[in-house]
């Protein structure tokens, strides 16, 4: 007879083997169920549309989106990514209502900690701090359009909507410098390339100064020299532009275009055409330090972000009301500024956002992470 001291361990070993076998079967059944569930997600629902992806696993979905829907970086490509990837969504942190102002151009600078606004209704430049508290307003006597800071941040360049000139404002002394830079066209968009070179755009709005163009000009005192005209045959209605790392991003509002051009400033060649279904009648454009593009899509009623790294489009902001349209946008660091309203309506809402990783956004879908 086998002693109980030997029989008990043998019995326990048999029980352990039975438990392991049951566990193995359970794992297999679970894997089969997961496989069926995963296949169901990719099938179409009764409406004929693809089933919406679950967003419970942020890391997995983000990686999958980046991998499967990344588009190729080809010159002059107008291909639209079907789905944008996940990205931090901005959180509204402050807002001011400007019922008697038409803010059509913005410039925020994190070094100066100032926000400059072109108010076409009151023919003035409004300046606030980063909390949007008004510091001062400078009357110009003409309708301002585009804004750009000099490399040393001591001067602010202001283009005119109707007049052939660029006015220079002394930022520190809060005054307009004597004399203006006379130009051959009423430029709207403006950006600084270096301490003496500007990139400017003429939309053809007046109809009196030739075809629409994007020009590279040098400024010496009050004298302007056009050294190059960029991609004239392609641009039909250029409005605003942004210069970053030897490239210029140009918004074209023409109804046949509604796109953003990317042009190499060294060669003058059009390298890419950016389009998206929500990119409708684009207004002001700007870039961050990483070269990512932000666009105020006026008729699309949203602010779009185009990621340079993987060429994905993101919707990062919508207006405070259903009928709000973005007129202009500017970004500095984690601060995003948007002016909401309608063109021809002297009423604007200026909203500041903090682009922190508190939540994630997919085009049309916002969720907490």
The SS3 call for residue 261 is strand
In a domain, 10, yes or no: no
Which pLDDT belongs to residue 345? 78
Provide the whole-model pTM: 0.73
In a domain, 363, yes or no: yes
Nearby residues of 319 by Cβ (< 8 Å), 6 or more positions away:
301, 302, 325, 326, 340, 349
Helix then strand then coil, in percent of the chain rounded to 5, is: 15, 45, 45
pLDDT above 80: residue 347: yes
* Cα 14 from Cα 21, distance rounded (Å): 11
CATH of the domain at 296: 2.130.10.10
Which helix (H) or strand (E) element contains residue 328? strand 325-332
Q: Are 337 and 106 in contact (CB under 8 A)?
A: yes
Which pLDDT belongs to residue 355? 83
In a domain, 51, yes or no: no
- State CA 22 to chain mean position distance: 55
CA torsion 259-260-266-268 (nearest 10°) is 20
In a domain, 15, yes or no: no
Task: Measure CA of the first residue to CA of the last residue in the chain; give whole Å.
Answer: 65
Taking residue 13's Cβ as centre, other Cβ atoms within 10 Å add up to 10
Which pLDDT belongs to residue 21? 63
**Mean pLDDT, residues 115-131 taken together:** 96
Of 39-48, 118-127, 149-158, 247-256, the one with minimum mean pLDDT is: 39-48
Which pLDDT belongs to residue 340? 95
DSSP 336-369: EEEEEE-TT-S-EEEEEEE--TTEEEETTEEEE-
Q: What is the DSSP letter of 196?
A: S
Percent of the chain exceeding pLDDT 90 equals 51
More confident residue, 182 or 366: 182
The 10s digit of each residue's pLDDT in 186-233 is 999 999 999 889 999 998 876 688 889 999 999 887 888 999 998 777
The 10s digit of each residue's pLDDT in 127-175 is 999 999 999 999 999 999 999 999 999 999 999 989 999 999 999 999 9
Bridge partners of 242, per DSSP, are: 249
Q: What residue numbers bound the domain in which 132 lies?
A: 87-368
DSSP 19-68: HHHHHHHHHHHHHHHHHHHHHHHHSB-TTSSBPPPP-S-HHHHHHHHHHH
126 phi, psi to nearest 5 deg: -100, 140
* Cα 365 from Cα 369, distance rounded (Å): 12
In a domain, 37, yes or no: no
Which pLDDT belongs to residue 206? 62
In a domain, 35, yes or no: no
Q: Are 305 and 293 in contact (CB under 8 A)?
A: yes
Which pLDDT belongs to residue 210? 84
Of 18-32, 74-88, 188-202, 270-284, the one with minimum mean pLDDT is: 74-88
* Cα 206 from Cα 213, distance rounded (Å): 13
- Planar angle of CA 114, 345, 116, nearest 5 degrees: 10
- How many distinct structural domains can be found in the chain? 1
pLDDT above 70: residue 11: no
- What average pLDDT does the chain have? 78
What the block records as the tokens of 41 is 């997600």
| Chain position carrying tokens 């009357």 | 139
In a domain, 139, yes or no: yes
Of 3-17, 209-223, 290-304, 345-359, the one with minimum mean pLDDT is: 3-17
What the block records as the tokens of 222 is 């009050």
Of 15-29, 152-166, 270-284, 287-301, the one with minimum mean pLDDT is: 15-29
* Cα 240 from Cα 191, distance rounded (Å): 9
- Planar angle of CA 294, 297, 300, nearest 5 degrees: 140
In a domain, 79, yes or no: no
- Planar angle of CA 268, 191, 265, nearest 5 degrees: 15
Phi-psi domain of 221 (left: phi exceeds 0; alpha: psi -120 through 50; beta: other): left
Q: Are 234 and 261 in contact (CB under 8 A)?
A: yes
């Amino acid at each position: 007879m086998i002693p109980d001291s030997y029989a008990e361990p043998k019995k326990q070993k048999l029980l352990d083997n039975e438990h392991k076998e049951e566990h193995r079967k359970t794992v297999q059944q679970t894997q089969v169920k997961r496989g069926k569930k995963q296949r169901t997600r990719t099938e179409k629902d009764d409406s004929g549309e693809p089933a919406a992806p679950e967003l419970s696993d942020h890391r997995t979905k983000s990686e999958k989106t980046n991998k499967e829907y990344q588009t190729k970086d080809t010159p002059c490509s107008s291909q639209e990514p079907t789905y944008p990837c996940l990205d931090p969504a901005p959180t509204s942190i402050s807002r001011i209502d400007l019922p008697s102002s038409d803010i059509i151009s913005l410039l925020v600078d994190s070094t100066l900690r100032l926000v400059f606004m072109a108010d076409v209704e009151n023919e003035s430049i409004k300046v606030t701090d980063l909390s949007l508290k008004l510091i001062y307003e400078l009357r110009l006597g003409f309708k301002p359009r585009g804004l750009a800071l000099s490399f040393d941040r001591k001067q602010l360049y202001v283009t005119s909507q109707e007049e052939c000139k660029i006015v220079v404002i002394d930022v520190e002394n809060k005054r307009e410098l004597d004399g203006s830079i006379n130009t051959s066209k009423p430029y709207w968009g403006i950006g600084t390339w270096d301490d003496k070179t500007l990139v400017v755009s003429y939309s053809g709005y007046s109809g009196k100064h030739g075809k629409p163009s994007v020009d590279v000009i040098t400024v010496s005192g009050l004298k302007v020299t056009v050294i190059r005209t960029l991609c004239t045959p392609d641009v039909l209605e250029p409005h605003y532009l942004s210069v970053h790392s030897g490239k210029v991003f140009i918004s074209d509002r023409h109804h046949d275009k509604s796109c953003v051009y990317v042009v190499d400033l060294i060669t003058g060649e059009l390298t890419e055409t950016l389009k998206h279904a929500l990119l409708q009648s684009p207004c002001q454009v700007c870039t961050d330090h990483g070269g990512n593009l932000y666009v105020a899509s006026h008729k699309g009623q949203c602010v779009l972000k185009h990621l340079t790294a993987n060429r994905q489009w993101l919707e990062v902001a919508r207006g405070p009301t259903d009928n709000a349209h973005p007129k202009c946008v500017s970004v500095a660091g984690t601060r995003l500024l948007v002016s909401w309203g309608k063109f021809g309506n002297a009423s604007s809402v200026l909203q500041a956002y903090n682009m922190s990783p508190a939540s994630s956004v997919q085009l049309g879908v916002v969720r907490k992470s």
